[in-house]
């Protein structure tokens, strides 16, 4: 009888240890806030070199107090101070660099602590120009 009582006690103690361990683990693992994935939107989504592009970031609260960097085709175009987006939201603007070739360009947000955080595609269109008149003699100067 004494042997059975000891076995029941061991099983009960093992069960209690498991319950306490898992409940503590659950508190440690699942009691942490979960942040949504950072995203950006750009406006406009296309333009010629020199176009002013506004970048708006959402869900960047987990990067508060860490500077972010905006890149255009792997070239830094601006920096956002960490204190500027403690709410998780930021907005900044830059101009599409001169001499950018037409086609797709990647606008990305980078963090020193997290590498590339978010990206969006911008379409660089051909250079637009206008002329002073749409008719004339062969060899006439256009301005």
Tokens of 54: 């506004």
Instruction: For residue 51, name the pLDDT band (cuts at 50, 70, 90).
Output: very high
| Adjacency order of strands within the sheet including 75-80 | 46-47, 115-124, 103-111, 68-72, 75-80
Which two tokens mark 25? 């683990």
Please give the pLDDT value at position 36.
Answer: 85
Tokens describing residue 65: 């107090």
pLDDT tens sequence across 64-76: 888 899 999 999 9
Helix (H, G, I), strand (E, B) or coil at 26: helix
Closest CA to 54 of 67, 66, 43: 43
Q: Which of the four pLDDT bands, split at 50, 70 and 90, describes residue 10?
A: confident
Instruction: Verify cis geometry, omega within 30 degrees of 0, for the bond prior to 98.
Output: no
Residue 59: band (very low, low, confident or very high) from pLDDT cuts 50, 70, 90: very high
Q: How confident is the model at residue 46 (pLDDT cuts 50, 70, 90)?
A: very high
Q: Half-sphere exposure (CA, 13 Å, Cβ side) for 26?
A: 6
SS3 20: helix
Q: Which has the closest alpha carbon to 77: 49, 103, 102? A: 49
User: Would you give the end-to-end CA distance of the chain in angstroms?
Assistant: 109
**3-state DSSP call for residue 122?**
strand
**How far from chain centre, in Å, is Cα 88?**
11
């Amino acid at each position: 009888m004494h042997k059975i009582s000891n076995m029941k006690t061991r099983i009960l103690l093992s069960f209690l240890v498991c319950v306490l361990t898992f409940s503590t683990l659950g508190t440690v693992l699942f009691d942490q806030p979960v942040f949504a994935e950072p995203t950006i939107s750009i406006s406009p989504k296309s333009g010629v070199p020199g176009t002013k592009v506004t970048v708006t970031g959402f869900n960047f609260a987990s990067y508060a107090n860490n500077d972010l960097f905006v890149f255009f085709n792997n070239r830094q175009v601006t920096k956002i101070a960490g204190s500027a987006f403690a709410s998780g939201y930021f907005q900044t603007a830059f101009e599409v660099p001169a001499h950018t070739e037409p086609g797709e360009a990647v606008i990305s947000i980078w963090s020193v602590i997290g590498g590339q955080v978010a990206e969006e595609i911008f379409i660089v269109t051909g250079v637009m120009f206008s002329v002073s008149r749409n008719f004339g003699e062969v060899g006439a100067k256009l301005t």
